[in-house]
Structure 1
Amino acid sequence: MTQKTVTRAVVIGYGHYLPERVVPNAEFAATLDTSDDWIVSRSGIERRHFAAEGEFTSHLAINAARSALANAGIEADDLDAILVATSTPDLTFPSVATMVQAEIGANRAFGFDVQAVCAGFVFALANANALIVAGQAKRIMVIGAETFSRIMDWTDRSTCVLFGDGAGALILEGQPGTGETSDRGILSADLNSDGRFREMLYVDGGVSSTGTSGKLRMQGNPLFRQAVEKLTSTAETALERAGLTSAQVDWIVPHQANIRIIQGTAKKMGLSMDNVIVTVQDHGNTSAASIPLALSVGADQGKLKQGDLIVTEAIGGGLAWGSVVLRW
């Protein structure tokens, strides 16, 4: 009997970039009724990075892309596609992905942006996986990049202390697998949306409504309650689709929004925080960039090893939420 083969989207490279400026919590205390203790106790965030004047989302994405190419040991012309997850593009159009494509010299690649706010990277990974499995592309760069500092209301202490800027990237390559759970690559994905909850997290501006970029608005407590429930549910659904259980997971690499959400999700999944990659203390909430940033940092620290089973999960404005199960 012939062994069946399937195509798996396997991670062959990773990289990230953070702007030079580091902003500790103490900086906010000078202008807001807040403190380092207040911010840390409610979010786990100690510092974050802000893009410099004239430094755009595309610049962050380009630097992360170059880092990932170097890590993978391939050239930009080896890429068939570039997907960028972002809610803070340089311009209304064209896409950040095409800016990255031109700058790194990926002359054969097509590119487009994915907008699902903090869940954007999970949505982009799922789309990249589908393109590879369908044979549309063999190698795809998936980037999460954000400059959320550009949409902050600096008078709102409940939001402006939570977010940061950064970018992370993975390179996926179609490789033959056996169809078993031992395969490397993306094993399953689960994507969800519910527009009835849009007022929990949104930006109060846009092209066709106000003609401005607007500022971020958030209902923190209701969003927190939705987050733990939905993140646990989507992770369990994705694991079930892959034929796996949470007991087999080596690492959760979650969206880095709030340490309490991360802890609550791990607890509901029956996993120790020792099995969770946490970078929120250093980066804050970088929206679509947070998962690839955490993957890249975790790999650089030697935590992620080939063959490890990883669950990534995220929730963001929309609401949009989802998860991807992959073997590193």
Structure 2
Amino acid sequence: MSSIIVKNAAKYLPESIKNREDMRTHFAAVGAQVDSLFDIGGRENHPYISDYRQETSVTMATKACQAVLDKEGLTLADIHGLFFVSDAPEYTVPSNAITIVNALGEGNDGAVKFVMDLNQNCTGLLSSFDMVSAYMKTRNDLKRCLLVSVFNSTHVSHQDDPVTFGFLTDGSSALLLEKTEQDGKGIVDSDTLIGSDGWELMSFPAAGYSKVFKEETTLRERTLRWEVGPAGWIPDKYMEVLPQLLERNGLTEKDIDYFICSQFHEGLVKKTCELMESSMDKWLFVSRDYGYAGNASPGFAFESGLESGKFTEGKTIVWFSFGAGYTLSALLYKF
């Protein structure tokens, strides 16, 4: 049986980086303090789009895709499918994926057989990887695909809001997926947990698309609404999934070489690590360097693992993340 592996990964971050002092100054102007938020969440550097007229979700995703193609010495002619993942897309018509195909290939060269836009908020990359892997196995013509995820907080956040503009950043990550005839590689199992209570605490546009273009709709109602509440319960939800995922595959925490944890909140990562009776040196958290770009952030951590030499043949990792609504996704992956 074939397997779908991540052949390589690459990211794109905007050139404009705001550090903690920059953000402290920015929010002081509106009487907000952000240090405690940054301390517990694990933030230092914040990549942001500097000119929304020049840089979008599509341009960031295109640059991440080009970067991973360059790493492998490939062009769009070598790619059979392109899947775009975002909760801050530039378009709903046409698909963002088709605009990226156009940008990478200067038009349709006929190699790409399938495109699609996908979204599951912060768990979007993980669940999309799971779905795309399964789909690639059913189609003989999808041997090599790009899965690109992107978040654009500059466009969706109100700049006076420390919770959205201060806690979220911009960026894109691209995974090059490849079909191999080696059995037992790639995603070997997955699990999800869904709970719809509290879905209304986070929404974009806050007013909904049916109202976003009406004159009476304010700027606040057109941007991302995030009603922050206690998050200490999230590690307990992880514990409803992670131990069972390992157990049914005959594994324990000791058999896992690395965890690509949610990049959202370092405090919650440490708590989950404790509950798993694990060690933080196995848990890859990169948001202090790159900020939190939602669904793209697990890709940042995966690329970091590749570039550092941690992810070698035979290693076993677990990816997991938590998204609005709520959604929880976890993947068991073998190299």
Structure 2 residue aligned with 1:122: 126
Give % identity.
23
1:67 is matched by which residue type in structure 2?
A
Q: Any idea what the Cα deviations from partners look like across 1:134-176, whole Å, max 9, x if unmatched? A: 2362222111111112111222223321100111111111212
Is 1:103 paired with 2:112? no
Please state how far the C-alpha of 1:124 moved relative to its aligned partner: 0.9
Please state how far the C-alpha of 1:27 moved relative to its aligned partner: 2.1
Is 1:196 paired with 2:197? yes
Provide the rounded CA distance (Å) in 2 between the counterparts of 1:219 and 1:310: 33
Is 1:316 paired with 2:311? no
Structure 2 residue aligned with 1:221: 229
Structure 2 residue aligned with 1:56: 56
Check the 8 A contact 2:153/2:165 in 1, yes or no: no
Provide the rounded CA distance (Å) in 1 between the counterparts of 2:244 and 2:49: 36
Q: CA RMSD in A?
A: 2.1
- The 1:20/1:134 distance shift into structure 2, 3 A limit, reads same
Provide the rounded CA distance (Å) in 2 between the counterparts of 1:289 and 1:172: 16
Q: SS in structure 2 opposite 1:220?
A: coil
Is 1:26 paired with 2:24? no
Residue of structure 1 aligned with 2:296, choices 264, 271, 289: 289
Check the 8 A contact 1:165/1:286 in 2, yes or no: yes
Q: SS in structure 1 opposite 2:264?
A: coil
Check the 8 A contact 1:45/1:282 in 2, yes or no: yes
- The 1:60/1:7 distance shift into structure 2, 3 A limit, reads same
Structure 1 residue aligned with 2:210: 208
Q: Any idea what the Cα deviations from partners look like across 1:84-140, whole Å, max 9, x if unmatched? A: 110111123222211212211274222111111111101110111111222362222
Is 1:145 paired with 2:150? yes
Number of paired residues? 318
Provide the rounded CA distance (Å) in 2 between the counterparts of 1:40 and 1:303: 27
Provide the rounded CA distance (Å) in 1 between the counterparts of 2:71 and 2:237: 34
- The 1:186/1:101 distance shift into structure 2, 3 A limit, reads same
Show structure 1 runs of 5+ residues with no match. Answer: 1-5
Provide the rounded CA distance (Å) in 1 between the counterparts of 2:249 and 2:198: 29
Provide the rounded CA distance (Å) in 2 between the counterparts of 1:292 and 1:269: 23
Is 1:93 paired with 2:71? no
Q: Any idea what the Cα deviations from partners look like across 1:25-83, whole Å, max 9, x if unmatched? A: 22232224445642332211011101231200111111111111122343322222111
Q: SS in structure 1 opposite 2:229?
A: helix
- The 1:73/1:274 distance shift into structure 2, 3 A limit, reads same
Q: Any idea what the Cα deviations from partners look like across 1:241-280, whole Å, max 9, x if unmatched? A: 5443322111111221111111112222221110011111
1:88 is matched by which residue type in structure 2?
A
Q: SS in structure 2 opposite 1:26?
A: helix
Check the 8 A contact 2:83/2:116 in 1, yes or no: yes
Please state how far the C-alpha of 1:188 moved relative to its aligned partner: 1.3
Structure 2 residue aligned with 1:78: 78
Provide the rounded CA distance (Å) in 1 between the counterparts of 2:199 and 2:81: 31
Q: SS in structure 2 opposite 1:131?
A: helix
1:27 is matched by which residue type in structure 2?
D
Q: How does 1:226-265 map to 2 (within 5 A)?
A: 226-265=233-272
Residue of structure 2 aligned with 1:10, choices 5, 11, 25: 5
Structure 2 residue aligned with 1:306: 313
Check the 8 A contact 1:138/1:173 in 2, yes or no: yes
- The 1:188/1:26 distance shift into structure 2, 3 A limit, reads same
Structure 2 residue aligned with 1:40: 38
- The 1:29/1:169 distance shift into structure 2, 3 A limit, reads same
Q: SS in structure 1 opposite 2:171?
A: strand
Structure 1 outlier segments of 4+, above 4 Å? none
Check the 8 A contact 1:255/1:287 in 2, yes or no: no
